[in-house]
Structure 1
Amino acid sequence: MKQSENNILKQPFFAKFWVSRILSSTSFQMLSVAIGWQMYELTNDAFSLGMVGLAQFIPMVLLTLVVGQIADRYDRRRIVYLSLVIEALTAGFLLLGSISGWLGRDLILLSAALIGACRAFEGPTANALLPQIVSKNSLPRAVSMSTTAIQTALILGPTVGGLLLAFGASAVYLLAAAALMISAIFTYSIKVEPIKDRKLAKISLQSFFLGLEYIKRKPIILGAISLDLFVVLLGGATALMPIFAQDILQTGPWGLGLLRAAPAVGAIIVSAVMAYFPLQKSVGITLFGAIAVYGLATMLFAISTNLVLSLFALMVIGGSDVISMVIRSSLVQLQTPDELRGRVNAVNSLFTGTSFQLGEFESGMLASFIGAVPAVFIGGIGSILVAGLWMYLFPSIRKLESLTESSNGAGEQVH
């Protein structure tokens, strides 16, 4: 497959993959906005908001090892396709429940859990699919463009979701269901390069843990994945957005949509720039610097009582986070062999994807005890402390100069 590194969106199959990711991620963000708003309207309880995150977190944890095995042994394209179809049907269920009036707290949590299970399959499998669509040389740029798709979704999803909430949650569920079905069709039409000479061990208890063992042997991958877990766990304030929108900034659903979209406004600008001007040097220091900025911006958002200042802080959060995301994603993809890519990406998704849901749960719990503002402010401080600690624990990351630099640290000991 011939690749045009400078015009990657002109590659038809990558373009379909890219559009599909925008549609599926936009739909997920729309569903998150609607579910969170509807849950808070029903319960007026920060604890219940946190439970939504926990409902999505549990199936992701339970399915991680299974997802990796399936993604490494079966058609990744079909796995993503089926996941999207089930998500669309779940959105349809939420639509029917909202229209009929029987959708309550427990059914919302059940739907969130089913969406979480589908995302457990969709996310890591789609990530593992990407190297089958583009060449190794094009992969860093493809990762950046894929990140741009996600960030585009983070703008479109919350904004559209927040605006549509003026017409009721059912309007959000209807559009999300339609977009997910279109995304599924795009995914099914993608043709991928078959993997030659893939060597897979027979299914056994040991094979389930090969991804974990590989990550443990590679300090750069271990550090990159675990770094995201703790930063998002401590610094995430997404679950508390309804509280900030209603009680602190005193805006309605439109304000919630703006708050949810603001991080992506900064992120999409930065990710688009990185797609055409990739990082060339001091990658490790840049990673830790971006996380420090992320923590400071989180603290600013926590203490802000002005909508404009809050939106600015969230834009900085998004811009700094995307730098970290592109670096970490590229490292994981480039330093993992294809026969383990599904399992490694499954573990990566457990750390990166579920850290978001677990972070929502943690934020909701902490906010229920000490309030939303202190909870978010403490999280920002924690992100900065984690960055400093990881610089010491993983010197191979700190010393990393480029994304394509080979790791010599297979046997490196973590401090």
Structure 2
Amino acid sequence: MDTAPHPFTFRDFRFYWIARFTSTIAQLSMVIVIGWQVYDIARRTMDVHDAALQLGWIGLAQFLPLLALTLVTGWTADRVDRRFIVRSTALLELACAATLAVLAWTGKTTLPSLFGIAALLGVARAFAGPALGAIAPNLVPASVLPTAIAFSAISWQAGAVIGPALGGYLYAAAPWVPYATSTVLFACCFICLMCLRPLQRRSIGGSTNPWKQMIEGLHYVRRNRLVLGAISLDLFAVLLGGATAMLPVYAKDVLHVGAEGLGNLRAAPSVGSAVTALFISIRPLRHNVGVKMLIAVGIFGLATTGFGLSRWMPLSLVCLAILGAADMISVYVRQSLIQLWTPDDMRGRVGAVSSLFISGSNELGEAESGFLAGLVGPVPAVIAGGIGAVLVAVSWSWWFPELKRAKTFDPPKTLEDIPLEKEQAA
């Protein structure tokens, strides 16, 4: 019988949970509005293909800072007080939201301003991701961590349900309102982060050279076949199968549901994710976790293909909800394996690599979808991406047999139990 305490019995986890919840609402409310404004402004002077291409560029603008800063952000998360990092990034996001609110209020929003703010948000996420991920395991005991990850996912997914819908409806009221609301929410996030008490830290082992310490995170991920397989599976599946970048196109020119419908479309995956996360928090996955992750990725691809083919709003919402549910299972398994199979003194650097892969699957995936849509059209791009995600799940089951052999989340008892790739002889 499971006698582990509930994650909410730990004070700092409660503040952490609220901070993630409020920041997620703020972030995704802004993301949906930024995407809509980019496409809407572009459509005034461009055709559908060229306007869709702008959505690719906005995804790239958010991804490039993460690509450039990955080594630095991971090393920083292992060397600097992680609370200071997440508080600073919350303030940067607050400033971005406030700036967009002023621009919208004065009617001076332009494509260059949207691209610039998107890049700054990418910088904030680059530093926040590794630090937030590395904080979580220090807030609860290891036995509680999988359940804490599920509840942390609920905070993100619940915020992801509320944020896009809220952004769409508030934008319909006035363009500046969603940005002003995000400003307030980021302030709430900052206050909660200020309430976190000092965390127990471990010094970085191995080399004392900062550059070598940065590289050690990449080296660990490359050698740990289980971690590498889990991270890269998400990267390539979502990189190919991500349909969210095309949602403004579907809302405006395929399903014809406008900004309000766009909010509902963007929230649908999070509804599926939130319901699944709630179920997992009550009945955690315990057996054959690797196989379940591979199956979930395959379902993700099939649901993406179904969405691409749909021309009926209710069916599109159902496909997106299934897509989100499958993605939640994949995320839950991946994060649990990475957090439990990574030493604490390396969690920041490994988390940075994971964040790079996750952002690569999201922002870079948006860029890929936008560029492909500019070539073949948005609908064929989504359908092809869904089929590609299914093929990735099948391929990874063969290339990374360690995933199929991952029966439980139990961390290795000794270093010899970690599935490390042997160094090649010189």
Aligned equivalents of 1:166, 1:322: Cα separation in 2: 30
Aligned equivalents of 1:169, 1:247: Cα separation in 2: 21
Superimposed CA distance per residue, residues 242-292 of structure 1 (whole angstroms, 9 cap, x where no aligned partner): 111111111011100100000011111111111121111111111111111
**1:107 match:** 113
2:142 partner SS: coil
Query: Which residue identity does 2:421 align to in structure 1?
Result: G
CA pair 412-402 structure 1, distance change in 2 beyond 3 A:
farther
* Equivalences for residues 29-68 of structure 1 within 5 A: 29-44=28-43, 45-68=51-74
**1:95 match:** 101
**1:83 match:** 89
CA pair 350-33 structure 1, distance change in 2 beyond 3 A:
same
**1:346 match:** 352
Aligned equivalents of 2:32, 2:203: Cα separation in 1: 44
1:278 partner SS: coil
Query: Which residue identity does 1:5 align to in structure 2?
Result: A
Query: Which residue identity does 1:61 align to in structure 2?
Result: L
Superimposed CA distance per residue, residues 301-360 of structure 1 (whole angstroms, 9 cap, x where no aligned partner): 000011000000000000000000000011111111111110000010000123200000
Q: Is it true that 1:411 corresponds to 2:410 in the alignment?
A: no
Work out whether residues 284 and 398 of structure 1, in 8 Å CA contact, stay in contact via their aligned partners in 2.
yes
Work out whether residues 133 and 192 of structure 1, in 8 Å CA contact, stay in contact via their aligned partners in 2.
no
**2:11 match:** 12
**1:194 match:** 200
2:143 partner SS: coil
* Equivalences for residues 3-402 of structure 1 within 5 A: 5-44=4-43, 45-196=51-202, 199=205, 201-402=207-408
1:138 partner SS: helix
2:131 partner SS: helix
The offset of 1:112, in angstroms, is: 0.2
The offset of 1:169, in angstroms, is: 2.3
Work out whether residues 98 and 180 of structure 2, in 8 Å CA contact, stay in contact via their aligned partners in 1.
yes
Aligned equivalents of 1:185, 1:63: Cα separation in 2: 26
1:411 partner SS: coil
Aligned equivalents of 2:290, 2:34: Cα separation in 1: 37
TM-score (normalizing by structure 1): 0.96
Aligned equivalents of 2:339, 2:175: Cα separation in 1: 37
Uncovered stretches (5+) of structure 2, i.e. residues with no partner: 44-50
Aligned equivalents of 2:397, 2:411: Cα separation in 1: 18
**2:46 match:** none
Query: Which residue identity does 2:172 align to in structure 1?
Result: A
Aligned equivalents of 1:193, 1:160: Cα separation in 2: 34
Work out whether residues 219 and 412 of structure 1, in 8 Å CA contact, stay in contact via their aligned partners in 2.
no
Farther off after superposition, 187-196 or 28-37: 187-196
Work out whether residues 9 and 15 of structure 1, in 8 Å CA contact, stay in contact via their aligned partners in 2.
yes
The offset of 1:6, in angstroms, is: 4.0
Aligned equivalents of 1:6, 1:43: Cα separation in 2: 52
CA pair 109-197 structure 1, distance change in 2 beyond 3 A:
closer
Query: Which residue identity does 2:374 align to in structure 1?
Result: S
Query: Which residue identity does 1:62 align to in structure 2?
Result: A
TM-score (normalizing by structure 2): 0.94
Query: Which residue identity does 2:128 align to in structure 1?
Result: E
Work out whether residues 38 and 169 of structure 1, in 8 Å CA contact, stay in contact via their aligned partners in 2.
no
RMSD of the TM alignment (CA)? 1.5
Aligned equivalents of 1:297, 1:336: Cα separation in 2: 32
**Aligned-residue identity in percent:** 38
Superimposed CA distance per residue, residues 138-164 of structure 1 (whole angstroms, 9 cap, x where no aligned partner): 111111111111111110110100110
Uncovered stretches (5+) of structure 1, i.e. residues with no partner: none
The offset of 1:198, in angstroms, is: 5.4
Q: How many residues align?
A: 411
Aligned equivalents of 1:203, 1:342: Cα separation in 2: 16
Query: Which residue identity does 2:330 align to in structure 1?
Result: S
Point out 4+ residue stretches in structure 1 off by more than 6 angstroms.
none
Aligned equivalents of 1:19, 1:228: Cα separation in 2: 26
The offset of 1:204, in angstroms, is: 3.0
1:151 partner SS: helix
Aligned equivalents of 2:346, 2:420: Cα separation in 1: 16
The offset of 1:413, in angstroms, is: 9.3
The offset of 1:196, in angstroms, is: 4.8
Superimposed CA distance per residue, residues 31-81 of structure 1 (whole angstroms, 9 cap, x where no aligned partner): 101101111111121111111111000001111100011100011011000
The offset of 1:405, in angstroms, is: 4.9
1:379 partner SS: helix
Aligned equivalents of 2:304, 2:423: Cα separation in 1: 32
Work out whether residues 125 and 342 of structure 1, in 8 Å CA contact, stay in contact via their aligned partners in 2.
yes
The offset of 1:412, in angstroms, is: 6.2
Aligned equivalents of 1:307, 1:317: Cα separation in 2: 15
Query: Which residue identity does 2:306 align to in structure 1?
Result: L
Aligned equivalents of 1:159, 1:21: Cα separation in 2: 18
Query: Which residue identity does 1:27 align to in structure 2?
Result: A
Query: Which residue identity does 1:33 align to in structure 2?
Result: I
Aligned equivalents of 1:18, 1:5: Cα separation in 2: 19
